[in-house]
A and B are shown apart, each in its own frame.
Chain A
Amino acid sequence: MTQEDLTITDPKMKAHGVNVFYGEKQAINDVSIDVGTDLVTAFIGPSGCGKSTFLRSLNRMNDTVASAKVTGRIELDGEDIYAPSMDVVQLRARVGMVFQKPNPFPKSIYDNVGYGPRIHGLAPNKADLDIIVERALVRAGLWDEVKDRLNESGTALSGGQQQRLCIARAIAVDPEVILMDEPCSALDPIATAKIEELIHELRGKYAIVIVTHNMQQAARVSQRTAFFHLGTLVEYGKTTDIFTNPKQERTKDYITGRYG
């Protein structure tokens, strides 16, 4: 892979020589990548290329899969996240995640956002929690739409609102990194545009990594793009370079629609 012109001076996360296995099958093969603190990083590639698997290894979501095994080193602020001393619950608060299908808890809008801060002890009393909930909903661009019905169920919201609620939920525990696994694939174009605008606004406050099948979306929201194919990282570079002048033939074939 090419790594020229790719200066990430202040990496939030560093992966080095990462392999992921599901039982005998190797899903990720020797991937090394730095995720910039103030950047949106997009992972693209065809289905089954390993981009989601790799994303999920960044906050140890693969731990929940019994057969999964991760080797290599992944650091958050220089700290090995697979070290025995690492508190996984704490890690997932620092590295939050938003999934493909919005998955609000079957609770009120308020509780969806307030639950995390409460169990992590971020809010000593109700007044503090109110502030945290409001701030998270404001940041997620949802406050104006829900402020008068915070006690209604989160599942009663539209799909796009639910996804922003999930982003608010991730933000509420004050994470450092937000991982998004195809956050817009279940949304209509308007809801998608709102999420993209939100990603744009959140840039700089959190390191953001987004997996997307929609290459136009990767081009629109990210500053760095990584192209995965068959479990390897084929090319990682500035998004503008990847989409105007990719160095690798496989990247070009994929983004120009010649793949397969």
Chain B
Amino acid sequence: MALTNDHTVKAFDEDLNRLRGLISEMGGRAEQALLQAMTALSKGDLDLAAQVVRDDKKIDALEAEVEQLAVQTIALRAPMADDLREMIAALKIVSVVERIGDYGKNIAKRVALMDQTRSIEAIPLLMSMSNIVVELIHDALDSFAARDAELAIRVTVRDKNVDDFYNSIFRTLVTFMMENPKYISESAHLLFVAKNLERMGDHATNIAEMVYYVVTGERMEERERGEQPEDGAAEQEQG
């Protein structure tokens, strides 16, 4: 069920395909934002960082466009079954992608606040972590475009790697700060970057779970969650 061009009312197919196209474009831009933000971070490229911040407006505009089209389609076409699930998922997915874009922007904004970061050993780890996150976002959106429940499941499983990276970077940075107190400010920024990446991985998982719902009509079973990140965030959220 890769593409729907089989509705009796052809204009419905056109609406659905346009919706999918917009979501793909939005996902591509969010991926791009993360890649550029991390490049800017590693190279200290302030121009590139500023561009990421500017480009985020386009992601926001796409979100609004998808929302409007989805609401209009629900109102005019009264979609049912998998079509209905797709509309609901589209609305939720774009708000998640918009959040991913915001995290990319947040990373880009930190570039200007860090001058001496390039000597911090955690940066290569962050680059590797972000590569995985980019892949997860990419695959999550691919699974939506291809209606691929298997790929969606694999995304949620691989998110564990991101969590592992986060724990590792957390330890590395804490150790680094103890040994180099004058870098505490930069290290704190990098901790936030790591946290942002970890959250982006979770959002990719959210997208994958929605794709699974669109394809199968069932909620994805509670997957084996990896151990919680070690910074105490989980306890804070509860308390």
Contacts and interface: CB of A to CB of B under 8 A. Distances in A.
A259 B81 CA distance: 13
A234 interface: no
A251 B8 CA distance: 15
Contacts, number: 37
Classify chain B: how many residues form its interface, as a range. Answer: 10 to 19
Interface string B88-120: 000000000000000000000000000000000
B12 interface: yes
A166 B9 CA distance: 36
Interface in A208-248: 215-216, 243-246
A244 B79 contact: no
Nearest to A216: B78
Contact of A258 (B6, B78, B217, B218): B6
A252 B84 CA distance: 11
Contact of B7 (A215, A244, A245, A256): A256
B2 interface: no
B8 A243 contact: no
Nearest to B218: A245
A131 to B, nearest CB: 43
Given A245-B81, A256-B81, A260-B8, 18 more contacts: A215-B80, A244-B80, A244-B81, A244-B84, A244-B85, A244-B217, A245-B85, A245-B217, A246-B81, A251-B81, A252-B82, A255-B80, A256-B7, A256-B82, A257-B7, A257-B9, A257-B80, A258-B7
The 4 closest A-B pairs by CB, nearest first: A245-B217, A255-B80, A256-B83, A252-B81
Interface of B: 4, 6-9, 12, 78-85, 217-218
